[in-house]
Amino acid sequence: MENGNKKRLNNYEKNKERIKKLKLERQAIKKKEEEGKEKYENEEKNNLNLKKYALCIGYIGSQYHGCQGQGENCETIENTLERTLLKINAIKKKKFFKNFNFCLSRSARTDQGVHALFNIFVYNVDINCTNMKNEEVHKTVNNSNDDHKTYVGKTFLYFFILI
């Protein structure tokens, strides 16, 4: 009988330890879920400042690999537009999200080397940036250190229309 009691006691102790471990694991999972909810709520608060804008853009596509974003390092119209929007804080990088291609939609896609007279890009733009004066936007965009050696043009013309 003593041998049977020892086995039961041993099993009881093992089960007690397993239950402790399970409780600790559940507590850790709950804590992570709560932290995730807080991050989501903070992100929702940040999104209250966003408003959907349609940007009407014409471009000469000779120096670009098409219109649609193809990754962070590829020179496309969409990537160039997003770098500019990041400079003026119209859109923001997210730490836990991809760092490029924020475009919600576009009216058309063009291939490499194709020009467009009127293409529409839709973005969620931070409404705080819409209060910037034209001079501020012009300085921010033109004072960049992103000078690309393959550009031949010496004059750039920008039209910013916020409705």
Dump pLDDT digits (tens) for 113-154: 787 877 887 777 776 665 666 666 555 555 555 444 444 455
What sign has the CA pseudo-torsion 70, 76, 77, 82?
Answer: positive
What pLDDT is recorded for position 129? 62
In the chain, how many domains are there? Answer: 2
Q: How many Å is the Cα radius of gyration of the chain?
A: 27
Write out pLDDT tens, residues 1-47. 567 677 777 888 888 888 999 999 999 888 888 777 666 566 555 55
Return the higher-pLDDT residue of 58 and 45: 58
Instruction: Assess whether 29 and 105 both reside in one domain.
Output: no
Instruction: Assess whether 64 and 26 both reside in one domain.
Output: no
pLDDT interval class at 96 (50, 70, 90): very low
Return the SS3 of 56. strand
Query: What type of residue is 107?
Result: S
Instruction: Assess whether 69 and 25 both reside in one domain.
Output: no
Instruction: Assess whether 44 and 87 both reside in one domain.
Output: no
In the chain, count H helices and then E strands. Answer: 3, 3
Instruction: Assess whether 57 and 96 both reside in one domain.
Output: yes
CA dihedral 98, 150, 145, 67 (to 10 degrees): -30
Instruction: Assess whether 34 and 86 both reside in one domain.
Output: no
Instruction: Assess whether 37 and 90 both reside in one domain.
Output: no
pLDDT (mean) for 41-63? 71
What pLDDT is recorded for position 94? 57
Instruction: Choose among 130, 150, 145: nearest CA to 55.
Output: 130
What pLDDT is recorded for position 128? 64
By residue range, what is the domain housing residue 127? Answer: 50-142
Cα–Cα distance, 160 to 134 (Å, whole number) = 8
Instruction: Assess whether 91 and 123 both reside in one domain.
Output: yes
